[in-house]
Amino acid sequence: MSKHTVFIADDFDLTETMDGISEKLRAMDIEVIRGPQTIKGTKLQYQPEDYERLFGKAEVAMFSSRSICSREMIEYAPNLIGIVNPTIGVDTVDVKAANEKGIIIGNGACPENYIEMAEATVMLMLMLMYDPNRSAELVKKNLPKPVESQHWAHMMWKKTVGLVGFGRIARCVAERLQGWDMNILTFDPYLTEKDVPSYVKLCSFEDLLRQSDIVSLHTIVTDETRGMMSTEQFRMMKPTAYFINDSRGQLVDEDALCEALEKKWIAGAALDTFMREPLPADSPLRKFDNLFLTPHIVGHALDCILSLPDVAVQNICNILNGELPTYCVNPQIKDKWLARRAELMK
């Protein structure tokens, strides 16, 4: 039997990870085809004239959030049986097209990945409520302590947290907050009361926005969720409330957020993801003192980064061996996938 072939995309933000995955596969005598270089600030679109060279032999293809796995590419690739992303998000993959073709999808939804993001989200909540950077600045600049009425920190105790979406990360956030004597709300149109823990209340999106002291996004990008936080939604929030997005930048209308901060519709926000990454130097988001910004790295704990190559390689090997990836996005198409695999192996 001829040796397997796997396509590995480039990712300017995951260079060591993609290189490590490639090295591990080559050590298993698997042919690796590397993708063209990605460029900061854009998502790579593969050109049809390159399909044969890149995807003509590939049985498994690995992409990331910085390169697009389109329907056209999926429909072209004659030997493709699996798609893998090293991280959790698969928003750059046309999942519907993959399902239709019987192509299984794996991702990096290992415990390290979603637990790190849950911990980071709780940290952002505390950063917004307590603003330790402002406290540290007093020492750094040798400034006097504020008088009692000038203190700025607020307790999380008795506050209401609204989690938009209730997947792995949001569940982990709720688990970590359940002992803090807080009200935890969630909006997820695909769940019912029996799907959420007793300490979490399922409610409408509008009620969540109106009642929450902290609103945190934990959903994927779809036609339904793209731009879901815009002017109308920010106007619903309390003027004392904070907003967090460490999920995907496409969920937020950034112009509307700037207006909300400028007109004090909300008290502040924290963003780890943006419409365009890296965040342009002239972005109006940079001018706000009540906006905490990190470059899509806030939850990237070293523990997780070191686990990604092994998880990805295991997913790829499982697919090549006719087993579901350890972390599978679309297990419902297993029978269709096995049929496609069997047909291609004839």
Catalytic residue among 4, 296, 300, 341: 296
**pLDDT at site 302:** 95
> Does the annotation count 296 as an active-site position?
yes
Predicted confidence (pLDDT) per residue in 85-114, tens digit: 999 989 999 999 999 999 999 999 999 999
What are the tokens at 286? 């940079």
In one-letter notation, the amino acid at residue 137 is E
What gap in Å lies between CA 45 and CA 48, rounded to an integer? 10
**Segment 146-168 mean pLDDT:** 97
Answer yes or no: is pLDDT of 269 > 60: yes
Predicted TM-score (pTM) of this structure: 0.90
Contact yes or no for 307/110 (Cβ under 8 A)? yes
Contact yes or no for 41/278 (Cβ under 8 A)? yes
Answer yes or no: is pLDDT of 14 > 90: yes
Answer yes or no: is pLDDT of 1 > 80: no
What are the tokens at 269? 């926000």
Answer yes or no: is pLDDT of 260 > 90: yes
Q: What is the mean pLDDT of the chain?
A: 96
Q: Find, among 209, 160, 215, the residue nearest to 184 by Cα.
A: 160
**Segment 197-224 mean pLDDT:** 97
Catalytic residue among 171, 277, 300, 341: 277
**Segment 183-207 mean pLDDT:** 98
Predicted confidence (pLDDT) per residue in 39-72, tens digit: 998 999 999 999 999 999 999 999 999 999 999 9
**pLDDT at site 346:** 83
Domains annotated for the chain, with CATH where assigned, are 5-107+302-345 (3.40.50.720), 111-293 (3.40.50.720)
- Secondary structure class of 222 (helix, strand, coil): coil
What gap in Å lies between CA 329 and CA 336, rounded to an integer? 14
- Secondary structure class of 306 (helix, strand, coil): helix
**pLDDT at site 2:** 60
Residue 342, CA distances (Å) to 268, 299, 303, 338 in order: 54, 40, 37, 6
> Does the annotation count 248 as an active-site position?
yes
- Secondary structure class of 105 (helix, strand, coil): strand
Catalytic residue among 248, 254, 300, 341: 248
Predicted confidence (pLDDT) per residue in 291-323, tens digit: 999 999 999 999 999 999 999 999 999 999 999
